[in-house]
Amino acid sequence: MTAELIFAEQSYPPAELDDRALRLAGGLARLGVEDGDVLALMLRNGPAFVDAIQACQTAGCFYCPINWHFKAEEVGFILRDCAAKVLLIEADLLAEVQVAIPEGVRLLVVGAATAASEAQDYGQWLALQAPYAGPPRTPRAHMAYTSGTTGRPKGVKRMAPQPEERELMLARMAELVATAWGIRPGVRALVSAPLYHSAPSSFAQQALQQAETLVLMARFDAEQTLALIERHRIDTVFLVPIMYVRLLRLPAEVRARYDLSSVRFVASTGAPCAPEVKRAMLDWWGPVIYETYASSETGMITLQDPQSARDKPGSVGRPITGTRLRIVDEHGHDCPVGVPGVVYVRQPAVTDFTYLNNPQARADAGLDDLVTVGDIGYLDDDGYLYICDRASDMVISGGVNIYPAEIEHVLLTMPGVADCAVFGVPDAEYGETLVALLAGQDSGRATPDQVREQLRQRLAGYKVPRVIEWVEQLPRDDNGKVAKRRLRDSWLATQR
């Protein structure tokens, strides 16, 4: 049963969503999209994105979301790399990227009419399509591209389960999303994060299949989120840590204005959440905040529930639903409790994957039947996982491994620090040295020396950045992630 969709205060009943999806699947087939092909999306949150998510279950194609902030070169790379047959794009985004669209890609444009002769107006085109009536195809989901913070993004193509395994995999996935995201039949869900990110896209897909109602926001707004929760009696919400920070900044009188008593499960993933931020949300919303450690490659791996958030601050929880997890050193040996190493996992509810056009990268990520995305972490005596950092973000200074995320968590507890990023830059003496960029209000800012002194009280001296600078803001995406490689390159360019 498809959920009711509410977007911009307009309701789309299940029967209407099903009809739109079947028409899109039929139209895609007539455009030459076959089982296993790719439909690329360059869309903001809205009904057209939902159409694509639903249609791929029937059309047998993958939908490949593209960050609509990307420029022509970035978009062109993804379209070529995934061999998209069709691009569904917002009208106002087309002019910026049209020069990079490969020849032969069919264009469907959402919104105002376009001068591009080869493009078709999506709304008009969809209304003319007959529903798909061909032979059954393999249901598909999204084809995510990794963030690209360490180079070109990589397409993650999930293998389809064998027909005889499909029912088992569906049951495993239902258990996983109920555990990690709180999605069960009949929930009333809300998502405001951009659907071009894999986690909110997957959350929306599961909610569309199981929820009674899915409220989709065009973009996150802190007070509007509270208002929608109250108005639609939302019980299951997807948020990312940066949204917590913005919610907590609301004045006390605004926070008190809305009834949030319907909320029973807040699913959070996508970026690390500082323990102090999570504790503040638990104090406000009650024991409903859950954090999942996950990736596009691995699926959801661990869960930190509200109680362990207080008992094990900084942890991302314990493995869920049969997940296997190993912490491995550089020699391939299991690390003792408390010793960081590379995190390798296997989630049985998701099938294996490949990196498009990059089999070596997939081979390099494997260890037996486990896989890593390069995260560094350790387990405590109770089996709780702590993520130190990405291997790509780790800084080696004077031969010592330093994980910037640990320093960032401390910085975020300091008065006046609303956001921060720590990264390494070349140093003639130590190999690398640390730079910390801080953002916050002008009033109440500590001096760099004062920040260093506060850090020394809580961290070893070698973890205290030599360079500390205040900036107006940090370039975070809507999912809360900072592209550190780009930030580092930009900072180095200013030093020349």
Q: Which domains, from first to last, does the chain contain?
A: 12-140 (3.40.50.980), 165-390 (3.40.50.12780), 395-494 (3.30.300.30)
Identify the bridge partners of residue 426 per DSSP, sorted by sequence position.
Answer: 432
Tokens of 271: 């970026």
Give, in order, the Cα–Cα distances in Å from 370 to each of 279, 344, 386: 33, 6, 18
Would you give the end-to-end CA distance of the chain in angstroms?
A: 59
* pLDDT the model gives residue 287: 98
Whole-number pLDDT of residue 151 = 53
**Which residues of the chain have a pLDDT value below 50?**
148-150
Q: What is the pTM of this model?
A: 0.83
